[in-house]
Amino acid sequence: MTSADHRATAQFAADAAAMRRALELADRGPADGVNPRVGCVIVSPNGEVLAEGWHRGAGTAHAEVDALSKLAPGAAAGTTAVVTLEPCNHTGRTGPCALALVEAGIARVVYAVGDPGVHSSGGAARLRASGVEVSGGVLADEVEALLEDWLFAARHRRPRVIVKWASTLDGRAAAADGTSRWITGAAARRDVHRRRAAADAIAVGTGTVLTDDPSLTARDDAGNLLEHQPVPIVFGRRPVPQGAALRSHPRTPLFFAGAELAGDLEELARRGIRSLFIEGGPTLASAFITAGLVDELLVYLAPAVLGGPMLALGDLGIPTIADALRFDFTAVERLGDDVLLVAHPTTRDERD
């Protein structure tokens, strides 16, 4: 290995170490809202960490500016800024971070993932045009995992949609008399509440509201509210009673007619909703699946059979087996007596 190779290897190791610290800082920021969690570390030419920063939410200083604010004027000249996300290149509530780095005299910028925003991307190009050395892709997989929902919403202009149902082995979500509590056991229900708390929003149709009167909260085993609560959303045209349980939710409910699901999802993304947990019922789940707007299925299977008409899904308009919608199983988990199947849509290339 040449001396140049040794230097490159040492530089990558130093960049990766600083990026891991930036990731830790990013994780301090709010997990929901329209802005991503971003961390920044400013490093001297000899590898000393001079300043750190992270984004604390909409309207506050971005991570790069937060870090720069902790340095004396001129102290950032010739240094390296290590940032989890490509510095932004637009003026919103705050100015463009790419320009702030240039004006501070930063000589080199290292980032993990490119900014997919329509208005905010282009920071790397602006930096390079200003003579700043730029390197991307450092620990990209780890940052992608941290920002999974935000990146999905930014790239697709809609939230990531997770559809969940619980059913018997023969696909029934309820008995013939409509009863469905409880198909699955306590371990499966605990997992559902954990996943509810991890989502930005939870949705049902008006039929489920009128039939089951769900609270749409995330709770622990004792029935206490978990710290994070998803925004309750109802799709449908029928009025929701003023006394419905979801109207007492800690978060203000949102209501959509559901006639144009793609447009509704775009509106949710504009409101900062990056992940949507579809909880019920079969009409709503079927509508999202038919529209091709489902990114993950969570199917909780109980070791029971019921028979009868109460299927977990309704008619999807599929006339023949050749047209079946295909999914890939990405996880199988045992939860007490039940099984959770996690599946993602099979891409067209995979089908071919």
* C-alpha dihedral, 155 to 158 to 162 to 163, nearest 10°: -140
At 180 the pLDDT is 81
Residue 169's pLDDT is what? 95
pLDDT class of 8 with cuts at 50, 70, 90: confident
Contact 41, 21 (CB under 8 A): yes
pLDDT at position 351 over 50: no
Give the catalytic positions in this structure.
Answer: 64
Domain extent listing, the chain: 3-147, 157-351
| pLDDT score at 352 | 43
- The third-level CATH classification (topology) of the domain covering 3-147 is Cytidine Deaminase; domain 2 (3.40.140)
Are 21 and 52 within 8 A, CB to CB?
yes
Average pLDDT, the chain: 91
Per-residue pLDDT tens digits for 223-272: 999 999 999 999 999 999 999 999 999 999 999 999 999 999 999 999 98
Predicted pLDDT of residue 117? 75
pLDDT of residue 179: 79
C-alpha closest to that of 297 among 166, 153, 146: 166
Pairing type for strands 39-43 and 49-54 reads antiparallel
Q: What's CA 199's distance to the chain center, in Å?
A: 7
Answer whether 0.85 is exceeded by the pTM. Answer: no
Which positions ≥6 away from 165 have C-beta within 8 Å?
Answer: 173, 280, 282, 285, 298, 299, 300, 312, 313
Residue whose C-alpha is closest to residue 206's, from 214, 218, 217, 196: 214
Q: What is the pLDDT of residue 35?
A: 85
pLDDT of residue 287: 95
Asked if the model's pLDDT at residue 3 lies above 60, the reply is: yes
What pLDDT is attached to residue 57?
Answer: 86
What is the tens place of the pLDDT at every residue in 177-228?
Answer: 887 888 999 999 999 999 999 999 999 999 999 988 999 999 998 899 999 9
The b/e string for 286-303 (b: 16+ C-beta within 10 A; e otherwise) is bbbbbeebbbbbbbbbbe
pLDDT in tens, 272-329: 899 999 997 899 999 999 999 999 999 999 999 999 898 999 999 999 999 999 999 9
- pLDDT tens string 9-68: 788 889 999 999 999 999 999 887 778 999 999 999 999 999 999 999 888 999 999 999
Q: What is the mean pLDDT of residues 81-91?
A: 92
Q: Is the confidence at residue 349, as pLDDT, over 80?
A: no
The CATH-assigned architecture of domain 157-351 is 3-Layer(aba) Sandwich (3.40)
Task: Look at residue 332 and tell me whether its pLDDT is greater than 90.
Answer: yes
Q: What is the pLDDT of residues 118-138, one digit of tens each?
A: 667 889 999 999 999 999 999
Same fold, 3-147 and 157-351: no
Measured CA to CA, the distance from residue 334 to residue 339 in angstroms comes to 5
Are the C-beta atoms of residues 66 and 53 closer than 8 Å to each other? yes
